[in-house]
Amino acid sequence: MKVEKRKLERLLIWLPIIGTCLYSSAANAAVESETAFIFNSFSFLLWGAFVMWMCAGFTMLEAGSVRTKNASVICMKNIGLYSIAGITFYLFGYNLMYVDVNNFIGSFTLFYSSTPEEIALLEGNAEALTDVLESDYSTMSNWFFQMVFVATTASIVSGTLAERVKLWSFFAFTAVLTTIIYPVVGAWTWGGGWLHQLEFKDFAGSTIVHSTGGWAALAGAIAVGSRMNKFRKDGSVKNTPPSNVPAVTLGVFILWLGWFGFNGGSQLALDSAINVVAMSVILVNTNLAAAAGVLVAVSISRPLLGRVDLMAVLNGAIAGLVAITAGPDIAAHHWAIVIGGVGGLISTVGIKVLETMKIDDVVGAIPAHLFAGVWGTLAVCIAAGGNFMVQLTGVVAIGAFTFVTSFIVWKLIGALIGLRVTLAVEELGQDVAELGIEAYPEFVIMPDEDDLGVYESDEKS
């Protein structure tokens, strides 16, 4: 009898609570304004932290891809480029990309900060809350989410030019990329400029982020040149295997994880059921595309490259992620598999294309980010409502602007301070020559036989 009485008491307690919840769900399609403000701002900050963590992925991928004598410089480049992006986008880049944008460019004002209403709220003025809530999210949460994207763009360039570009030359280019080149591309599109007005679609940046970084990397690879003896006189390609395959694999998994923030956060809201459903769709499509890129790369690497190439397979994952990034919000999930799979195919074929063209890309960033990014932007026309001519216009315009501008900047830097290290430094390794620290000091570095002749002649001169 006592047991039944307890059950009845619990039911009486919970009935009003359940009824209130059911009533609230039916009466409100979304949460109240302050709660929505909190959810949206938290979404920006959380997903932004995921995207920032991609810098760790790029660091592991690149450090494991290069020879041990250059791994420390890779670490320096990646923490340096993230810091440069954070400062330059705060000082100038964000305003150029988002503030008072006309058809082509935004404001040339310095600095960016919280609104006066937000500052008043922080100072204890409760009446400012109403004005603060007129925005859907806190000002600096949005700034943070946008800043980590520009750092991703710069990371793409780092891997391509590894093992021969000077540290300070790379930093100088990164400053220009994050201050001017990327913000101008962003102003044309996400900032409301002329491509946005044409209804160019690039949900999370297949072109705006990844192809922009790829075009800048391609311009740098041409301007800096290939590593010594990478392409032999007889036309063969010197094999430069990665120094740490587990690190490269870990880096790709970190990038895969970070991509959920990259694409999911680009929904830009978490304040209603429809936004939560949309974000769920985006994350699933992101995962499907990456998996498809892997499986296609596994399938074609042996006939194309002569073996089941793990590095090509890892790049296949990245290419699948890049390809779906322009349109991850499609409800027909099977298209994500197709788009990601084609991205993996393009990336693997692209490795051979670059070798044929004698362009040295240490980590395969150009096939994975540029080639797959172009494909993903055009693939928006398949299931995400894109207009082919508009998408093609965006690809060509952004590609031409980024490549030409980047090439000019690389050449100017070369004229002022030089682009690449000497042959002696390249043989010794940038870790010792530029930083005075080895990533793996217990290892004894043996000169490569292909490089000995070049090294000895350089020493004599």
Looking at residue 29, what is its pLDDT? 53
Place 19 in a pLDDT band, splitting at 50, 70 and 90.
very low
Among 38-42, 315-319, 392-396, 456-460, which stretch is predicted with the lowest mean pLDDT? Answer: 456-460
Looking at residue 307, what is its pLDDT? 83
Place 384 in a pLDDT band, splitting at 50, 70 and 90.
confident
| 317-366 pLDDT per residue, tens | 999 999 999 999 998 999 999 999 999 999 999 998 998 899 999 999 99
Task: Select, from the ranges 186-190, 383-387, 456-460, the one with the highest average predicted confidence (pLDDT).
Answer: 186-190
Residues in CB range of 395: below 8 A, 6 or more apart: 207, 211, 374, 377, 378
Q: Structure tokens of 88?
A: 């330059």
- Does residue 456 register a pLDDT over 70? no
Q: What is the mean pLDDT of residues 383-406?
A: 94
- Which residue carries 């290892």 as its tokens? 443
Q: What is the dihedral of CA 354, 356, 360, 365, to 10 degrees?
A: 10
129: Cα separation from own chain's centroid: 35
Rounded Cα gap, residues 214 and 207, in angstroms: 9
Whether 266 contacts 44, CB under 8 Å: no
- Does residue 62 register a pLDDT over 70? yes
CATH number of 35-435: 1.10.3430.10
Q: Where are the beta strands (DSSP E) in 347-459?
A: none
What percentage of residues in the chain have a pLDDT greater than 90? 66
**Please, what's the largest Cα pairwise distance for the chain?**
101
Q: What is the mean pLDDT of residues 37-44?
A: 93
| 68-98 pLDDT per residue, tens | 899 999 999 999 999 999 999 999 999 999 9
Place 445 in a pLDDT band, splitting at 50, 70 and 90.
low
Q: Structure tokens of 2?
A: 């006592």
- Write down the domain spans for the chain: 35-435
Q: Structure tokens of 149?
A: 């994207």
Residue 424 vs residues 48, 386, 430, 442, 455: alpha-carbon distances, Å: 41, 51, 10, 22, 6
Whether 368 contacts 65, CB under 8 Å: no
145: Cα separation from own chain's centroid: 12
* Residue 446 DSSP code: P
Strand partners, 420: 165
Three-state DSSP class for residue 272: strand
- Does residue 233 register a pLDDT over 90? no
| 174-187 pLDDT per residue, tens | 999 999 999 999 99
Among 99-108, 228-237, 401-410, which stretch is predicted with the lowest mean pLDDT? Answer: 228-237
